[in-house]
Structure 1
Amino acid sequence: MATHALHPRHPSPRPRARRRRVTLDEHLPVDHRLSTVYRFGAGLMGLVLLAFGILGLIDKVGFFDTRGDTVAGLNTNGALSVLSLCVGLLLFAGMVIGGNFASTLNMVLGIAFLLSGFVNLALLDTGLNVLAFRIQNVLFSFAVGLLLMVFGMYGRVSGNLPHDNPYWKARHPDRVRHAR
């Protein structure tokens, strides 16, 4: 019954191949063609958020006014406008820096927008809705989150990356050496 506890396992004749762990850190190679996609995504979403934030601040709505005011079909107040400006500027910084930073920033902010959509969906019509969200804001948050995630993951996360992709090369160094 418990013979496996008494006898140590015999080492296998073939040592196990050590699997490399892939992370989305800065040490991954930078492909300039992919960096263009990351920069474009960050810049486009940053521009949309900056425009929304500026239009919201021009309206001079109260900072935490929960009834808000409509700007470009979305509800807003001063806090949401300032938050939109800050995130838009952060995305523009990602666009300027580019590379893996822009990709990771797009993915992180995309997840944050999705989570914000779910949280604010739960807070609709409550006294805790300090950003004056309405259902159109929730849908906008989901759309921006998904777009940012697509722009950030493009070329980095896939089951069928081409063999000249730098992320595929980083994940399969043994195959790259054999192909040379």
Structure 2
Amino acid sequence: MATHAVHTRDTGPRRRIEFDKHLPVDHRLNTVYRIGAGLIGAFLVAFGVLGLIHHIGYFDTGGATVTGLNTNGTLSVLSICIGAILLVGMVIGGNVASTLNMVLGILFLLNGFLFLGLLDTPNNFLAFKIQNVLFSFVVGLLLMTFGMYGRVGSTLPHDNPYWRHRHPDAVEREHPADGG
């Protein structure tokens, strides 16, 4: 019988979760993390490259539009960098892609709120318009959804490491520790 590397109880104030070694590589949720990161990353890279091809100034706040979104050189470079990070997360997969999706999703949401407040001000250095803000919100929610898929929910399977971490007593009843 395989042993699982999930802590059942910690005596200290912090509980740490450890994963079965095979789960991040072979688990069916890995595909969701990877595809989500890859599709959004590829779009961001393409958007950034198209923005750079148009030779828009780096801090130009004019009305330069690429694929329906306002852009400037700085936003184009930033989009390429974030897209590349998401593509790397797709290649690595597993918990790295999941966590990366969640973190970047939160950052996209915060960025949307920040630039919503900066619309029509001289401080709008990424040349955001309302369509950029909406795009930032949608991408943020999508990335967070991809990242949380399989981590949260009321119907997680019992082989899921997050379910195991939240229900250590049930794990102990299902897989009693080997005596000896």
Q: Same fold (TM over 0.5)?
A: yes
Q: Is 1:38 the equivalent of 2:33?
A: yes
From 163, 166, 169, give the equivalent of 1:171. Answer: 166
Q: CA deviation at 1:18?
A: 6.5
Q: Give 5+ residue unaligned stretches, structure 1.
A: 1-16
Q: Deviations over 1:2-26 (max 9, x none)?
A: xxxxxxxxxxxxxxx9798566x7x
Q: Which residue of 2 aligns with 1:141?
A: 136
Aligned CA-pair RMSD: 2.0
Identity of aligned residues (%): 66
Q: Which residue of 1 aligns with 2:114?
A: 119
How many residue pairs get aligned? The number is: 162
Q: Give 5+ residue unaligned stretches, structure 2.
A: 1-9, 176-180
Judge conservation of contact 1:28–1:170 (CA < 8 Å) in 2: no
Q: Which residue of 2 aligns with 1:87?
A: 82
Structure 1 distance, partners of 2:120, 2:101, is 30
Q: Is 1:151 the equivalent of 2:146?
A: yes
Q: Is 1:160 the equivalent of 2:160?
A: no
Larger Rg: 1
Q: Deviations over 1:119-176 (max 9, x none)?
A: 0000000000000000000000000000000000000022331223222123223212
Q: Which residue of 2 aligns with 1:28?
A: 19
TM-score normalised by L of structure 1: 0.83
From 44, 47, 69, give the equivalent of 1:74. Answer: 69
